Amino acid sequence: MDARQIIADLRRGARLSDEALQWFAAGLADGRVSDAQAGAFAMAVCWRGLDRDGRGAFTRAMRDSGDVMQWDLPGPVVDKHSTGGVGDCVSLLLAPALAACGTYVPMISGRGLGHTGGTLDKLEAIPGVTTSVSGEKLQQIVADVGCAIVGATGNIAPADKRLYAIRDVTSTVESLDLITASILSKKLAASPDVLVLDVKLGSGAFMKSLDEARQLARSLTETATAAGCSCRALITDMDQPLVPALGNGLEIAIIMEALQEGKHRRLQQLTARLGGELLEGVGCAPTAEAGSQKIVDALADGSAADRFGQMVYQLGGPADFNDQWRAYLPNAPITRNVRARKAGYIAAINGEELGHAVVHLGGGRLQAQDQIDPSVGVGELLSLGTWCEAGDVIAVVHAASASAADQAEYAILRSVQIGPEKPSCGPLVLERH
């Protein structure tokens, strides 16, 4: 086989054999497939698509391009993944809360993709933290702390590691097949007993319609179940950022406020719902509702915060981060208040445009080799339905330069709509699959 023929067959709409997909995934991992060929393959998948069997075969091939982890722990192994949104830092709150509830969470996460932030980029805003660890180190942290949020380093899904970076810079992110294979190849390689998926829907998500979100939820749960992993999915609202901040360091600050001060109700609510599904799924709670209450208790009594601090230290961060986090997080040299041009309600928020604004501030990547600035972003964003007067601050830009702040301010004013009618906000969790 060769990459050119596989790409040509796919471009013509032919069904690729399992062997061809296995060969291509192996070629991504060992370098036989070039970056150009990987980009062409991704574009062909976006254009032609894979059928259900092909999607499952490519997912398993990506998983099997590296090691599949085995666990010997005194409790169940669980995991969670989000399909991507803006201001979505649930993983950073959920993993330590689940660890405090007696489960083990080897969370293999990703970096920023398109307009959405990456969990690894957020965690690495903490000085000293590195999410690139060996499989042995991952095993050790999970056993000692109960949770570890790391990248697919070493030999865990190396095919996805290559393709993930290429998709980000070739505008081939929004593909049901590629999203399914990317998410599940890493998650299945971690061998969880139960997996929960947070499928985002709305202006700040990749999925803009309920039908698209349902298709993705079904694709993910069917593919995971066929691979032998118990899986459930929630479709959740992303018509506004989950928290009032976008940007890596700014979102870590949000996490610490949630862990230590009980702030950010929507973040805590969704964290509890997702955690409840997992705790019920592995028998640590009789119902999902009872599991959600366990997560709420772990957040309230400080046990989740303790696990988070331990994880940060094990990943190379400061031992006293929980006590001194404000001093450790980076500050941008320029802050700019963005003020409403007229009175009214916050009627709509274009989350995707806000996400791109953060990327252009330096909080994401335009090229695969770009370095992220952890200090930049957008903070203190007003939520949907909030009344503001002309001149009120609707957001604060954190920027590295005045020109970057100018561009971000313009993007915020364009993406946040103010109107005379208060919008009706739907539920945070829309459907369960």
- Average pLDDT of span 75-81: 95
Contact 428, 266 (CB under 8 A): yes
Helix ranges, 333-425 (H): 351-358, 402-415
The C-alpha atoms of residue 126 and residue 313 are separated, in whole angstroms, by 10
Give pLDDT tens digits for 334-381: 999 999 999 999 999 999 999 999 999 999 887 777 889 999 999 999
List domains and CATH numbers for the chain. Answer: 3-49 (no CATH), 78-155+163-323 (3.40.1030.10), 330-419 (3.90.1170.30)
Check pLDDT > 70 for residue 154: no
Angle at 352 between CA 348 and CA 355, to 5 degrees: 115
The 3-state DSSP composition of the chain as helix, strand, coil percent (nearest 5) reads 50, 15, 35
- Which of the residues 82, 153, 203, 223 is marked catalytic? 82
In 136-239, DSSP assigns E strands to: 147-150, 194-201, 230-237
The one-character DSSP state at 362 is I
Average pLDDT, the chain: 94
Tell me if residue 342 is catalytic. Answer: no
Give pLDDT tens digits for 79-126: 998 888 888 999 999 999 999 999 999 998 878 766 777 899 999 999
- Which of the residues 187, 214, 264, 398 is marked catalytic? 187
- Which of the residues 182, 271, 292, 375 is marked catalytic? 182
Tell me if residue 79 is catalytic. Answer: yes
Cα pseudo-dihedral 285, 290, 295, 300, rounded to 10: -130
Q: What is the structure's pLDDT at 135? A: 86
- Average pLDDT of span 261-278: 97
Q: What is the value of pTM for the model shown?
A: 0.89
What is the three-class DSSP state of 65?
coil
Tell me if residue 119 is catalytic. Answer: yes
- Average pLDDT of span 274-289: 98
- Which of the residues 55, 60, 63, 80 is marked catalytic? 80
3-state secondary structure 403-420: HHHHHHHHHHHHHEEEEC
Tell me if residue 294 is catalytic. Answer: no
Distance of CA 412 to the CA centre of its chain: 22
Paired tokens of 391:
């001149």
Instruction: Give the bridge partners for 348, in sequence order.
Output: 417
Tell me if residue 167 is catalytic. Answer: yes
Q: What is the structure's pLDDT at 153? A: 65
Give pLDDT tens digits for 136-145: 999 999 999 9
The C-alpha atoms of residue 199 and residue 222 are separated, in whole angstroms, by 14
The C-alpha atoms of residue 346 and residue 376 are separated, in whole angstroms, by 23
Tell me if residue 263 is catalytic. Answer: no
Nearest in space to 202 (alpha carbons), one of 67, 399, 94, 355: 355
How many CB atoms sit inside 10 A of residue 327's CB? 10
How many CB atoms sit inside 10 A of residue 433's CB? 17
- Which of the residues 59, 103, 119, 219 is marked catalytic? 119
Tell me if residue 336 is catalytic. Answer: no
Give pLDDT tens digits for 284-341: 999 999 999 999 999 999 999 999 999 999 999 999 999 999 999 999 999 999 999 9
The C-alpha atoms of residue 169 and residue 122 are separated, in whole angstroms, by 20
